Structure 1
């Protein structure tokens, strides 16, 4: 007798690439921390090299994931990570490119939302989406007085899109789990990524508008790379396995 079973473990990943991502992310974080405490071009360059390199390697992780959830899902996740890479570069360049960087990340979140609606209707579990939107609204209210008038509209739009991305990732994970979909483990990774992305940007907003947070580069960048890592890992499809048992 044949029994159809599904592997409930998270998708596997290449260990060598994972080590390279960890090394690049660590360089980006260490460079930022050391440049802040011991200003030096060497530490600044360590950050400038490590930050985009880590994102590029995460892009490669998503690109190499075989088999993918679907070609569409892979394309949209890759587009989202590419937009995040553009945002990384814009925010590192000289001058105040906060709004262009914000726009790049916003486009990335729209790509992720599109990826998360391929096999699950948007807001299929409204209370989950409302929870993430509520979290974003609370932070906006608390930071409202510290946000300059010229930035308020862009920030509001960004927060709505970011919270919608995190909420839809949660919705998808919930829906796929409830219907016993074999891709539920990968959807949980995407949900973890979406929520961690929200955490990273929340910390970044408080650090920028309310005042410096202790070790802010560590918390913001660690959460950011972890978010991209989980979203990239969600690209790989969870394959069903056939277990054969002797008929009795």
Structure 2
């Protein structure tokens, strides 16, 4: 009950934050952003215990640290790098989280696995080919980050073929939207400015975190 209420509170607070962000109401969004993920952290904390609870809490914590660091990117490129590292660690922990979820069925449709894997690989090469000429000194850090988020998406996709429904779909959609958020951020920063980029980045990011949390909680709910 507490978890459900906190998740609904997160949705409401996120919608308010996104409206303020879209309307560009100076300063309010800056103070609201650090309060978003703590709602998900508390929602997971008060949920029933499950084997990977500490892992998802750790992933959310590193994401939250990244959120705070990226608030100061206007003060120097170093803040962007540190924020990148925080989210890199968050994605690595999400990979561990997905790899440790219990499989409840056997994937008999191998063609879906290979088609999905090829699509993920195609995304990786298209993004790198598009961004690489624009990255300058950040080529290696961004390449490493791209490898990690692509791997995170792959583990979510692979798991979705074996996890119980509908939790598997929530997690997979969360991973896809998370990668979309990172892609918008990278495209906006390195390739070409996007109108209302901050809004689209945060809308997809907040949705992604919610879907992953919801999926993991449902996947680990005791029947």
1:163 and 2:178 equivalent?
no
Contact 1:87–1:101 (8 Å) recurs in 2: yes
From the CA coordinates, give the structure whose radius of gyration is larger: 1
Give the Cα separation in 2 of the matches to 1:187 and 1:63: 21
Which residue is 1:243 aligned to? Answer: none
Match 1:16 to one of 2, 5, 22: 5
Q: CA-to-partner distance for each residue in 1:110-157, whole Å, 9 max, x for gaps?
A: 110001111469xx9565344323212211101222212x10000000
Q: Please name the residue that 2:42 is paired with.
A: 60
RMSD: 2.3
Q: Give the CA deviation at 1:14.
A: 4.7
Residue 77 (structure 1) aligned to one of 48, 56, 62: 56
TM-score by length of 2: 0.84
Q: CA contact under 8 A between 1:59 and 1:232: conserved in structure 2?
A: no
Moved more, 16-25 or 107-116: 16-25
> Unpaired runs of 5+ in structure 2?
104-109
Conserved in 2, the CA contact under 8 Å of 1:77 and 1:231?
Answer: no
Q: Quote the Cα distance in structure 2 between the aligned partners of 1:185 and 1:13.
A: 21
Distance in structure 2 (CA, Å) of the matches to 1:54 and 1:119:
25
Equivalent residue runs for 1:151-230 within 5 Å: 151-176=138-163, 183-230=164-211
- Distance change in 2, residues 1:212/1:166 (3 Å): same
> When the two structures are superposed, what TM-score results if normalisation uses the length of structure 1?
0.76
Unaligned runs of 5+ in 1: 1-11, 177-182, 241-248
Q: Does 1:47 align with 2:29?
A: yes
Give the paired residue count: 210
- Asked whether 1:131 is paired with 2:113, we answer no
Q: 1:99 aligns with which of 72, 81, 85?
A: 81
The aligned counterpart of 1:29 is 18
Task: Compare the two structures and name the one with the higher helix fraction.
Answer: 2
